[in-house]
């Protein structure tokens, strides 16, 4: 996978290559997303190039003129030149035949990605009506015969739908229903999910399309379980837990640029109500009540994150976020003291993202809760100001005469509470020493068992 945006130097190599290939009787085409994005007048990060009507040994000779060549064998052959951010391929079959363009493009996933542009002439080859589907905003597979050769295309259809806001053709939805995606490596699922989180204005469309395709079962069962789960209608008029989750996810997309960890914020929004679908609930006076929800939620989140990312660190981060996300609004409603506000920020991995998740949860329901964004970020500024001030350290406590590690640890915890309360260092140190020097009160009451009467 290419991670770097291509440069003018990369394009220069492509044009020089195209001229050399033409002199040998071949043709070089821009293919795939580069052509699509060019027609949409949007920036493309990748260049994919396909080279026709040239023997492999001759192609290797020409490519080697531009740098060291690496050959990667998939179901097709991929060539990469060191220092160049372009993927070069040849048709997997039919190279040199009069029908090679059709055969090659038939292996593309969607019609909007099947168009080819002659590098030297600029001519667009559109054998599958890709430009028409682009204009009509439709995601449609190229060939029923070849589409399932890469199962990730099921998720890619949903990703493109969310990213571009396009509809998926009914026949493509139907085709996707019958493709088994359970054998895909998690990295490919995560890649499509990350593109959705990074590029889509409404990432909920990704999951709504997978729902239409009946493809939530294997990779997203915790989400599927939210469908039809009722909520307290006093606070949620938007519908079931699935609907609420999708709204929160879309709200998170609006603020992801403000997040310190955008991907983790998006995953937290996706996971924040997981668990409600896997616990039984009883109606208490018409109000849904989830039994052992917190326990099951953490289990569901851990299972989901480890399945999708195989990252325990991300799982721990997100578990922490969803444990805490209701607290920002609660502290405002309760008029909480400074120490409790600062302790909340101190207990979360990233306070900035916690506030954003809390805001998204509020905005993702009808009627909306109070939008406490301004107040919460003012509280956060205060927290950062306090934490930037000098504070009592373990070294300070040792220098003050506290000897054992156990007592220093106890004193440090107490001093940290004073720090969160905004008490400056010298006063906090004195209060901590006074606390440690307090005589221990022993309970001398008899612990004998009562005598039976």
Of 223, 134, 307, 25, nearest to 126 (Cα)?
134
How far is Cα 1 from Cα 23, in angstroms, rounded to an integer?
A: 31
Are 262 and 252 spatial neighbours (Cβ–Cβ below 8 Å)? no
C-alpha to C-alpha distances, 316 to 197, 222, 360, nearest whole angstrom: 20, 17, 21
Residue 446 has pLDDT above 80, yes or no: no
Q: Report the pLDDT value the prediction gives residue 449, as an integer from 0 to 100.
A: 42
Q: What is the mean pLDDT of residues 184-204?
A: 97
Query: Which of 327-336, 357-366, 407-416 is predicted most confidently?
Result: 407-416
121, burial (CB in 10 Å: exposed 0-12, middle 13-18, buried 19+): exposed
172: which DSSP letter? H
Rounded to the nearest 10 degrees, how much is the dihedral formed by the CA atoms of 418, 423, 426, 430?
Answer: -50
Q: What is the mean pLDDT of residues 117-127?
A: 96
Question: pLDDT tier at 408 (50, 70, 90 boundaries)?
Answer: very high
Q: Report the pLDDT value the prediction gives residue 244, as an integer from 0 to 100.
A: 94
Are 245 and 270 spatial neighbours (Cβ–Cβ below 8 Å)? yes
Q: Which residue has the higher pLDDT, 122 or 229?
A: 122
Are 243 and 229 spatial neighbours (Cβ–Cβ below 8 Å)? no
Residue 234 has pLDDT above 90, yes or no: no
Q: Report the pLDDT value the prediction gives residue 95, as an integer from 0 to 100.
A: 55
| Percentage of the chain modeled with pLDDT above 70 | 87
How far is Cα 49 from Cα 31, in angstroms, rounded to an integer?
A: 6
Q: Report the pLDDT value the prediction gives residue 394, as an integer from 0 to 100.
A: 95
Q: Report the pLDDT value the prediction gives residue 269, as an integer from 0 to 100.
A: 97
- Helix or strand (DSSP H, E) at 329: helix 327-334
Q: Which residue has the higher pLDDT, 439 or 2?
A: 439
Helix, strand, coil shares of the chain, percent, nearest 5, are: 50, 10, 40
Q: What is the mean pLDDT of the chain?
A: 89
Helices (H), 150-292: 153-164, 170-177, 186-199, 204-212, 221-224, 241-255, 262-271
Q: What is the mean pLDDT of residues 108-129?
A: 96
User: Among 226-230, 317-321, 375-379, 388-392, where is mean pLDDT lowest?
Assistant: 226-230
Looking at the whole model, is its pTM more than 0.85?
Answer: yes
Is the backbone peptide bond immediately before 367 cis, with ω within 30 degrees of 0?
yes
How far is Cα 383 from Cα 380, in angstroms, rounded to an integer?
A: 5
Q: What is the mean pLDDT of residues 155-171?
A: 98
**Could you read off the pLDDT of 237-269 as tens digits, one per residue?**
677 899 999 999 999 999 999 999 999 999 999
**Could you read off the pLDDT of 264-323 as tens digits, one per residue?**
999 999 999 987 766 545 565 555 555 555 656 688 898 999 999 999 899 999 999 999
How far is Cα 169 from Cα 180, in angstroms, rounded to an integer?
A: 19
Q: Which parts of 274-372 are beta strand (E)?
A: 281-284, 287-290
Q: What is the mean pLDDT of residues 420-428?
A: 96
Question: pLDDT tier at 1 (50, 70, 90 boundaries)?
Answer: very low
Residue 453 has pLDDT above 50, yes or no: no
Q: Which residue has the higher pLDDT, 446 or 161?
A: 161
- How long, in residues, is the chain? 453
How far is Cα 233 from Cα 220, in angstroms, rounded to an integer?
A: 26
Of 347, 353, 371, nearest to 420 (Cα)?
347
Q: Which residue has the higher pLDDT, 299 or 184?
A: 184
């Amino acid at each position: 996978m290419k991670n770097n945006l291509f440069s003018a130097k990369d394009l220069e190599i492509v044009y020089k290559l195209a001229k050399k290939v033409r002199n040998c009787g071949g043709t070089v085409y821009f293919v795939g997303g580069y052509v699509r994005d060019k027609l949409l007048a949007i920036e493309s990060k990748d260049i994919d190039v396909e080279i026709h009507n040239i023997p492999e040994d001759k192609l290797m000779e020409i490519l080697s003129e531009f740098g060291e060549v690496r050959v990667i064998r998939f179901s097709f052959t991929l060539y990469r030149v060191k220092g160049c951010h372009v993927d070069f391929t040849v048709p997997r079959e039919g190279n040199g035949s009069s029908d090679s363009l059709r055969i090659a493009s038939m292996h593309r996933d969607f019609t909007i990605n099947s168009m080819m542009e002659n590098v030297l002439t600029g001519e667009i080859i559109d054998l599958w009506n890709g430009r028409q589907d682009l204009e009509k905003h439709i995601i449609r597979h190229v060939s029923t015969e070849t589409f399932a050769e890469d199962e990730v295309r099921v998720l890619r259809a949903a990703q493109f739908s969310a990213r571009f806001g396009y509809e998926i053709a009914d026949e493509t939805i139907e085709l996707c229903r019958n493709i088994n995606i359970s054998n895909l490596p998690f990295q490919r699922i995560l890649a499509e999910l990350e593109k959705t989180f990074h590029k889509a204005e409404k990432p909920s469309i990704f999951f709504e399309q997978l729902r239409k395709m009946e493809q939530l079962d294997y990779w997203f069962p915790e989400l599927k379980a939210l469908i039809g789960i009722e909520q307290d209608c006093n606070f949620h008029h938007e519908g079931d837990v699935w609907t609420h989750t999708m709204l929160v996810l879309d709200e998170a997309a609006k603020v992801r640029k403000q997040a310190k960890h955008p991907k983790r914020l998006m995953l937290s929004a996706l996971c924040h109500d997981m668990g409600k679908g896997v616990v039984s609930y009883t109606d208490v006076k018409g109000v849904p009540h989830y039994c052992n929800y917190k326990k099951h939620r953490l289990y569901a989140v851990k299972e989901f994150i480890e399945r999708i990312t195989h990252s325990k660190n991300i799982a721990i981060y997100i578990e922490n976020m969803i444990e805490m996300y209701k607290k920002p609004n609660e502290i405002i409603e309760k008029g909480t003291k400074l120490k409790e506000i600062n302790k909340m920020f101190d207990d979360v991995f990233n306070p900035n993202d916690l506030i954003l998740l809390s805001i998204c949860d509020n905005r993702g329901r009808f009627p909306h809760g109070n939008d406490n964004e301004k107040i919460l970020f003012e509280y956060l500024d205060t927290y950062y100001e306090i934490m930037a001030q000098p504070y009592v350290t373990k070294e300070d406590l040792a220098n003050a005469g506290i000897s054992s590690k156990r007592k220093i640890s106890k004193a440090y915890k107490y001093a940290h509470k004073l720090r969160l309360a905004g008490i400056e260092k010298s006063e906090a140190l004195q209060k901590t020493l006074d606390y440690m020097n307090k005589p221990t009160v022993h309970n001398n009451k008899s612990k004998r068992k009562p005598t039976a009467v």
